[in-house]
Amino acid sequence: MQESLKLADLNYIDDEVVSVSQDYELEYEKYFDIMDGEYFQCYGGSLYYISYYGTIEGENGLMLNRLDSEGLNKEVVYTFDTVPDKMFITYGHLFYVDTFTQEVFVVNLNSKEKTQIIEPEGQRFLRYVPSQDGLYLNMYNQSTNVSTLYAFSFDDYSLENVISAPDYFLASSYDSNFILL
């Protein structure tokens, strides 16, 4: 006869305090952590994913987790204060769009410092364009029908206009990007 059946990784612990990780400040008496399934990314030899957390006291939210290559060590990397969308990790930074405000944010994964990327007037974020020499952000102005490709500066988190045109196509390959007009 089987004594226990594991249906999911709910991490319920009765009568004991559970610590999520050494660096994570919250400790719960009764805690669950369920993988979101919407976001996965391999970066630096680890798997990053989003999970929902909650407590019996009613606290809940979303966390970015890092799982090592062996799948044995989980670390909470960042706790969101909103519902993130369009996430991407590169050069030690997490980029995401706030689902409610549509603002674009960058988080330094070492310092946990969050900064809003100031979008130029009338521009709406479309996508990230990774490159060997950095990261580009593709934005669109619906009133003028102009797409703009911006180079992102990791030094001061600013955007530099690379090209603006009514119709262009950005083709990407493993080691280069091409702009076709």
Instruction: Write out pLDDT tens, residues 23-57.
Output: 555 454 556 677 767 788 899 999 999 988 887 77
CATH 2.40.10.480 residue ranges of the chain are: 30-116
Please give the pLDDT value at position 127: 87
Token readout for 48 is 């990053």
Please state, as a whole number, how many other Cβ atoms lie within 10 Å of the Cβ of residue 8. Answer: 9
C-alpha span between 139 and 163 (Å, rounded): 11
Top pLDDT among 96 and 13 is at: 96
Residue range 30-116 in CATH 2.40.10.480: yes
Nearest to 33 by CA among 73, 4, 88, 76: 76
Task: Provide the 8-state DSSP code for 11.
Answer: -
Please give the pLDDT value at position 156: 93
Cβ–Cβ under 8 Å, residues 117 and 135: no
pTM equals 0.74
Token readout for 127 is 């996508």
